[in-house]
Structure 1
């Protein structure tokens, strides 16, 4: 008589939940700012830069 080992079924693979998106930049990591020039602070255009809330990662910061 030979003993047959029971076959172990693998656990189902679950995906990690996606981290929450940053509310300031909506998950892009960039925000737009108006560029102003002159003494009267005349608006001349827009410039993008990284989000200071999430530091450009696009994920909501931990509380």
Structure 2
């Protein structure tokens, strides 16, 4: 019996931190639908990046607070 062949998965695109920041700045200025379209990104991708940025900034602030004690 021959093994069934499946098409190769497309690799996820990786974006630089600078690209993400630029896209989020535009989304904040022009709105998420327009900002995402301008960079060829889904609106949901921008919201996910924004949420991750907020989590990371909270973690950094928490570490600074603990270091000061």
TM-score bracket for the superposition, by shorter chain length: under 0.3
Higher-helix-fraction structure: 2
Higher relative contact order at CA 8 Å, sep ≥6: structure 1 or structure 2?
1
Rg comparison, structure with higher value? 1
Q: TM-score, normalised by structure 2?
A: 0.26
Q: TM-score, normalised by structure 1?
A: 0.28
Higher-strand-fraction structure: 1
